[in-house]
């Protein structure tokens, strides 16, 4: 006789819960700010309308006081470590474009052109090239036009990132006393990110 499947699964959502979820989804995210605006501007004047707002606020406060709601918020706001860019983030504030990694160039690897010098990126090769007018004058003609090497969301999933590690700008965690101490690659946007700067950490 086969053993019963004991793997934990999420409880089925009741019809009532589905209805409530659909109703909540229809409430604009700006609702709280709009209610405050209405009150401060004196748009809600009658006792009946004020009572409706009071009921709404008390219901919202009751939801916030639910232990399960508090636990969910704590999980969302818990600080996590991104195994791709090594920044700190939380699930509550993790959107596409929050995790960014710039292209990296080697100042000793370049090609001379009639305009000056071209530096192929160490991470993407000649697909991404930094152009300098002249030689050694730090006049980067296309620096502002370069996109990021990676731009997306933060992650703690090592399986997803492991295949991306390239010993250049996407690097594995550097562990000390059980904690990653590798810094985020600093890109001020005013100058290229060189390999010596990345490898110095």
**Tell me: the pLDDT tens digits for 104-116?**
999 999 989 888 8
198-to-19, 58, 101 alpha-carbon distances in Å: 51, 52, 11
pLDDT confidence of 11, banded at 50, 70, 90?
A: low
Which neighbouring-strand residues pair with 131? 118
Q: What is the pLDDT of residues 119-133, one digit of tens each?
A: 999 999 999 999 999
Integer CA distances (angstroms), 78 to 37, 53, 81, 141, 155, in order = 31, 32, 10, 42, 13
At 1, the pLDDT band (50, 70, 90 cuts) reads: very low
Token pair recorded at residue 55: 């009921």
pTM value is 0.66
């Amino acid at each position: 006789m086969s053993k019963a499947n004991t793997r934990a699964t999420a409880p089925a959502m009741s019809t009532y819960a589905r209805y409530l979820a659909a109703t909540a989804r229809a409430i604009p995210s700006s609702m709280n700010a709009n209610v405050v605006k209405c009150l401060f501007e004196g748009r809600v004047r009658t006792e009946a309308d004020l009572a409706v707002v009071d009921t709404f606020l008390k219901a919202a406060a009751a939801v916030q006081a639910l232990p399960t709601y508090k636990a969910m918020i704590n999980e969302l706001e818990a600080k996590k470590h991104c195994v791709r860019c090594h920044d700190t983030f939380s699930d509550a504030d993790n959107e596409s474009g929050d995790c960014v990694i710039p292209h990296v160039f080697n100042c000793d690897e370049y090609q001379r052109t009639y305009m000056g010098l071209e530096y192929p990126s160490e991470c993407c090769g000649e697909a991404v090239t930094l152009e300098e007018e002249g030689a050694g004058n730090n006049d980067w003609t296309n620096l502002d036009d370069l996109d990021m090497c990676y731009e997306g969301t933060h992650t703690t999933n090592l399986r997803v990132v492991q295949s991306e590690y390239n010993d250049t700008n996407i690097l594995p965690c550097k562990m000390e006393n059980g904690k990653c101490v590798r810094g985020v690659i600093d890109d001020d946007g005013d100058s290229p990110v060189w390999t010596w700067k990345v490898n110095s950490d």
